[in-house]
Copies of this chain bind each other. A is one copy, B any other.
């Protein structure tokens, strides 16, 4: 938005080659704000800006751009500028960019890094996708227990500038094993002559590099931290994860869950940036699977064709009944998927959930059955519309609704738990999948109940 206002002025200054004025004008904004301005500008102008800005500022701005803008900009920049930006980037943001690019591009970019940065980049990319290791930065401040607080502050003044966070400091022994974490504030508040070991309580929370990144969201929320240390299996400190990256992970996981709940494979990129073809692939696959499943409804219907021919009035209520089952299933499944994702419901609670949702199905089914019953019984045109046996039809419809809603609620609640038990992502039990499962059974339930209720009258 800002770019719309200031962007034209900047473009004008670039045309007039007023580079010094431009540098001065932008100096008053922070990197996040400048990144915001760049979003609305033409790629070639942004590339010019990157060449004239101080390299550290350019690298900072680059980190605030979206992954898509970063990728686009890399194409417009010369090899030297790309090398500068990549070498100055925080390693965790760089990993996010490198894993987004096609393999060949990643290799080309890594070759532009200095030997030190290359070693870091390759090590971070060596951790599994979606693991804590991929979100790590090795830019932290490590202390030794025998140092004095005064020495620590001096050390921070010397090495602190390039570190991602100084809010938390890490105490390690001579082998690099993590002993404790201390907050910078504790250093400030402590007597400069005291030792680091005096401040240590040896109680700390650490992540494991091979842990799933989703688990680290839970830990950050539980311990309210701005950074957590990451250790390997021997307890050696290998990096830290900062809260800004964890917020991104939390958002990404919620987005994935919502997309799966809508029966779309996770898009992994903003809606507007996904190519049409990729989008179709991610949607057509699930839609076709559900469609093939839905073909069972045609078979189920075929099975009852004779009954339908005798009592056409029955099919009038069919969509109402099966979609009520689907709706109640959607409700249950979206509640349970989110509760499982947040750790509110554990697998061992399955019987509590079952008990609760059976009750819910009974209550909700009862409400809908009553509504349908009243509608068919007391509608003044019921006899004209549905024939002389409309009261019996009302009974069959109400009983079917009760059965279908209980069935839908139970399946909707249990399927996410079953999927989790089998090692799948519970979010795959989408509303459409539940609806498909319930549709087939809904047809069977409705016509079976109708066959019993209407025997000797309509059927």
Beta-carbon nearest neighbor of A283 in chain B: B331
Q: Indicate if A453 sits at the interface (CB-CB under 8 A).
A: no
What is the CB-to-nearest-CB distance from A403 to chain B, in angstroms, rounded to a whole number? 15
**Which listed residue (B251, B288, B385) contacts A302, Cβ 8 A?**
B385
Query: Is the Cβ of A160 less than 8 Å from the Cβ of B184?
Result: no
Residue in A201, A276, A312, A368 whose Cβ sees the most chain B Cβ within 10 Å: A312
Q: Find out whether the CB atom of A315 lies under 8 angstroms from the CB atom of B308.
A: yes
4 shortest interchain CB distances as A-B pairs: A262-B334, A271-B339, A254-B254, A224-B244
Majority-rule SS of A interface residues:
helix
Q: Which of B261, B284, B356, B368 contacts A367 (CB 8 A)?
A: B284
| Given A167-B226, A324-B291, A342-B251: A431 and B330 interface contact (C-beta under 8 Å) | yes
Q: Interface with B: A16-24, A129-137, A292-300, which one?
A: A292-300
A203 pairs with B30, CB closer than 8 A: yes
* B residues near A224, Cβ cutoff 8 Å: 32, 64, 244
Chain B residues with Cβ under 8 A from A443's Cβ? 319
The reply to whether the CB of A72 lies closer than 8 angstroms to some CB of chain B is no
A263 sits at the interface (CB 8 A): yes
Q: How many copies does the complex hold?
A: 2
- Check A359 for interface membership: any CB of B closer than 8 A: yes
| Closest chain B residue to A166, Cβ basis | B185
- The docked-state distance in angstroms from the alpha carbon of A258 to that of B167 is 34
Question: Which B residues lie within 8 Å of A279 (CB)?
Answer: 360
* Given contacts A29-B203, A271-B339, A272-B349, A298 and B317 within 8 Å (CB-CB): yes
A437 CB to nearest B CB, Å = 11
Distance A327 CA – B202 CA, assembled complex (angstroms)? 54
Q: Give 5 A-B pairs besides A262-B331, A331-B432 with Cβ atoms closer than 8 angstroms.
A: A64-B224, A156-B188, A262-B334, A263-B334, A290-B324
In angstroms, Cα B257 to Cα A337, docked, is 13
Give the docked Cα–Cα distance between A257 and B335 (Å).
Answer: 11
Whether A335 and B290, one on each chain, are in contact in the complex, defined by CB atoms closer than 8 angstroms, is no
Interface residues of A in 418-445 (CB under 8 A from B): 430-432, 435-436, 439, 443
Scan A32-43; emit 1 where CB is below 8 A from any B CB, else 0: 110010000000
Contact A301:B287 (CB < 8 A) given known A32-B223, A255-B342, A335-B259: no
Interface size on A, residues (CB 8 A): 116
Q: How far is the CA of A317 from the CA of B353 in the complex (A)?
A: 35
Q: Is A215 at the interface (CB under 8 A from chain B)?
A: no
Residues of the B chain whose Cβ atoms lie less than 8 Å from the Cβ of A398: none
A 378-437 contacts with B by CB, 8 A: 385, 430-432, 435-436
Of chain B, the residue at the smallest CB distance from A253 is B254
Rounded to whole Å, the gap between the CB of A305 and the closest CB of chain B is: 6
**Complex CA distance for A183 and B163, rounded to whole angstroms:** 13
State which of B160, B262, B375 has its C-beta within 8 Å of the C-beta of A335.
B262
Nearest-CB distance from A77 to chain B (Å)?
Answer: 23
CB-defined interface of A118-155 with B at 8 Å, one 1/0 digit per residue?
00000000000000000000000000000000000100
At the interface, yes or no: A46 with Cβ under 8 Å from chain B?
Answer: no
Taking the closest CB of chain B, its distance from the CB of A364, in whole angstroms, is 6
- 25 A-B contact pairs sorted by A residue (CB < 8 Å): A30-B223, A33-B203, A64-B222, A156-B189, A160-B188, A166-B183, A220-B244, A226-B243, A246-B247, A250-B250, A257-B258, A258-B334, A262-B331, A262-B431, A270-B342, A283-B360, A288-B367, A290-B324, A291-B327, A294-B319, A294-B324, A295-B320, A297-B323, A301-B319, A326-B435
Contacts of A326 in B (CB 8 A): 323, 326, 432, 435
The answer to the question of A61 belonging to the interface, with a C-beta cut-off of 8 Å to chain B, is no
Name the interface residues of A355-379: CB closer than 8 Å to any CB of B.
356, 359-360, 363-364, 367-368, 371-372, 375
The interface residues of chain B lying within 8 Å CB-to-CB of A302 are 316, 385
Expressed in whole angstroms, the minimum distance between the Cβ of A367 and any Cβ of chain B is 5
Whether B305 and A364, one on each chain, are in contact in the complex, defined by CB atoms closer than 8 angstroms, is no
Q: Which residues of B contact A160 (CB under 8 A)?
A: 185, 188-189
A167-178: CB near B (< 8 Å → 1, else 0) gives 100000000000
List the B side residues contacting A246 at CB < 8 Å: 247
Interface set, chain A 52-67, CB cutoff 8 A to B: 64
